[in-house]
Structure formats: structure tokens, C-alpha cells
Chains A and B, each alone.
Chain A
Amino acid sequence: MKSINTILLIFAFTIIANAQVKIGDKLPLITLENNLGVVKKITLSNNKYVLIDFWASWCAPCRTGNKKLVRLHDTHNANIEIIGISIDTDKTKWKKAIEKDKIKFQQYIDPKGFDAPTAVKFGVEDIPSQYLFDKTGKLISINPSHEELLKLIK
């Protein structure tokens, strides 16, 4: 009986582990509210790399990272689409941060902190966390370095 339980437990954990996004996977279905208050399904752009960035207004390293992302968006918009997903629980603080950091790329919110279903789906344990999808929509890198990104999208 005990061994059956153990097997079941391992099986349950495998399901959970399998549910997480991994290299080679396609973008999972995500429907979230954006910064214009519209609930939208996140779709990948054709013929562009897509970088999904998990962040929050209270996370200092994320805010520093935003500056880099804004610059990347300004200079390489034609080759890469940046999609921010905030796990802020306070939407007002989130919107203020978008304004302050002058973010013009797409922004969505899953306002439940680390318990946010989207964060769980991606296996986000720290923020910032970034997921890079290639032009065919496959996940090719988790937390790519800035240099790695620039090399790819040149």
C-alpha cells in the first residue's frame, strides 16, 4: 500500500513538473489583463523573437532591468517583441511603474505574487525571470544574457 502511495506521489509530482514550460515548448495559453484594462490572450508575433519578462514594481533588480528592456525595445523593435508580465498585487503601483520606467512594450498583470498561475506555469521562482521564444514560437532560452539576446536579434 505504502509503495502504491509513493508511486502515486511521484506520478503526481511528474505531472506538476511536466506542466511547467521547458526549452523546446511552445508558448502556453495565457489570458491576462493588460495595462489598458483589456483582458487578452497573449499571442506570438510572426517573424519576431519574443521575450517574456516576469517582474514587479517593488522588485529593484526588475526596475533596473526595465531600463535595458526599454532600450532594447527602442532599438530592436523590428526583431524582438517584449512582453512584460507583472506579479504585482497592487495594480496602481504596477501602472505607476510602467509610466515611470517609460515602458512602451506590451504589459500584462497576474496580480497574485509568486502564486500567480502564469508564474507557476513558467516555474518562476525569482524575479526578474525572462523566457525567450524564437521566430517559430519555441522556447529557446531562460534568462538569456543581454549579450546573448543582442547576438540573436542583430
Chain B
Amino acid sequence: MKNLKLNYTFITSFLLMLSVQMNAQISKVEIIATGLTCSMCSNAINKQLKSLPNVLNIETDLNTNTFTVYLAESNTANPKIFKDSVEKAGFFIGSLVITTTANTVSKEPYILIDKSDSTSGEVKVQVLDKGYITDKEFKKLSKSMKNHENYLLNNEDDFYIKYSK
């Protein structure tokens, strides 16, 4: 009996460890910012992103106007904190692609609109909610997303996503 209890404790803690690890997290975020002025001509977005917790490094690609944010392991970052940062800097998000684990996006707060084609390993997904894509794209997508009632509610706590190349 004692042995069984020990086993139970062992299995539980193992599962717990596993779940902590599986809960992982965004490792990289690629952001294209839009606005009335040139987003790359300002240091504001860079500064805001740098001030976020667990940010290891930020790279900027001047040809694609992309800010790539690398995050430390065991972070609890979600897409919203990046959107808030960019908006605080006076810009908007044109595109936001996150690199994370298949397990992370298979559950809340993520809602995958594609068929899931992998259950493990790293995946790249684009956030499709209003404010994470251009207004034009959102309008277009709203029409094709009529079967996803909640998409149009613009709930800030869930993230509609699709696989990205």
C-alpha cells in the first residue's frame, strides 16, 4: 500500500513536471507594425518590446519591416502583451506570428481554425483576431469566418490562429 502511494506521488509529480514543460510558451514572435509613419524610423516599438519581461533579444529586418522578439524559456507571454506594446508605441499590428509548441496552441486560449497537422514539436501560427491583422484583412476574414460565431465578438482573451509558413 505504501509502495502504491509512493508510486502515485511519483506519477503525479512526473505528470506535473510534464505539464509545466508542455505548458510552454512562445519562443519567438515576429511582428510587422503599421501606422501613419514609418515604423522602422522610430525607436519607440523597440523600446517598448525591450521593456517586456523575458525578452532576450530583438532583431529588426529592414527589408520586411519585421521586429523579431526572442523570449526566454518558461515565460507566460501571450499575443496580447505584444499588441499592447506596439500600440503603446503609437503603432498597430499588421501581422503577428508566434513560434511555439503544438501543445500550447492545441488548448485555451488558442483556437486553431486549420486542421491540426501535428501534435508535437514546434509550430508557427499567425494570430487572426481584430487588431492582430490589418483592418482590410479582418473585414475579409470576418466574412469567411461566419461559422465561428465567437470570432466576431472580438473577445480579447482568446486567440484565433492559423498555421503560418
Which positions in A face B, CB cutoff 8 Å?
56, 58-62, 113-114, 124-128
Contacts and interface: CB of A to CB of B under 8 A. Distances in A.
B62 interface: yes
Contact of A60 (B38, B42, B60): B38
B42 to A, nearest CB: 5
Given A60-B41, A125-B42, 8 more contacts: A59-B40, A61-B37, A61-B38, A62-B41, A124-B43, A125-B44, A127-B41, A127-B42
**What class of interface size applies to chain B in its complex with A?**
10 to 19
A127 B62 CA distance: 14
B46 interface: yes
Interface of B: 37-38, 40-44, 46, 60, 62
Contacts of B44: 125-126
B57 to A, nearest CB: 13
9 contacts: A59-B38, A59-B40, A59-B41, A60-B38, A61-B38, A114-B46, A125-B42, A125-B43, A127-B42
B60 A113 contact: yes
